[in-house]
Amino acid sequence: MSRSTLTESCLLVDGIAARETVSREGKRQLSALHFAGDFVDLHGFVLKEIDHGVTALTDCTAVFVPHTEITRVIGQSPALGRALWMLTAVDAAIQRAWIACLGRSPALTHLAHLLCEIYLRLHLVDLAWGYRFSLAITQVELADALGLSPVHMNRTIQELRATGLVSWNGFDVAIQSWDGLLALAEFDGTYLNLVQRFR
């Protein structure tokens, strides 16, 4: 999906999608990952235009909600309006965390941080079981999200496996030591506002 003028917002019901920007040379940067329950372009409700594309990384099911309907519902329920505002605020916080990792963190720390974030986000919507979850995206797609070459991405995954903190077989990810992964990632999940968004 790539649209310049928005009249509706996309709610992801199932699957994994990403925001993407492609350079003139054809190089792709994924700037966000989206999972079930995420609006992939809620900021477009206010901005009406977006400067990125949205692409499905797996088979996806989505619902498109007209902006006129969002306006109507917000008018009837200020609490829902606040909830949608919270979603856009959390989305911006995730973007800031990604930028900080991209600019300052070594590849291993960055990957560990992303896995911590993904686990918590999937756990929130009952898509993680214990400390296990499915991440059905390719190493090339992960590389595009972390700003690494595919070779560097593969090497970093192998390095993470070698720590024993994570078992990673195909698309199945199992966290063997949550505390250890948190420490490696230098992860502080405050930016996800997991408690605040349900008040």
What gap in Å lies between CA 81 and CA 167, rounded to an integer?
40
Asked if the structure places residue 2 within a domain, the reply is no
CATH number for the domain spanning 28: value is 2.60.120.10
Over 50: is that where the pLDDT of 1 sits? no
pLDDT at position 55 over 80 = yes
pTM: 0.89
User: What mean pLDDT is reported for the chain?
Assistant: 90
- Domain hosting 88: range is 8-198
Looking at residues 159-172, what average pLDDT do you find? 96
1 domain-assigned = no
Q: Is residue 28, in this structure, part of any structural domain at all?
A: yes
Q: Residues 95-114: pLDDT tens digits?
A: 999 999 988 899 999 999 99
- Average the pLDDT over 5-13 and give the result: 86
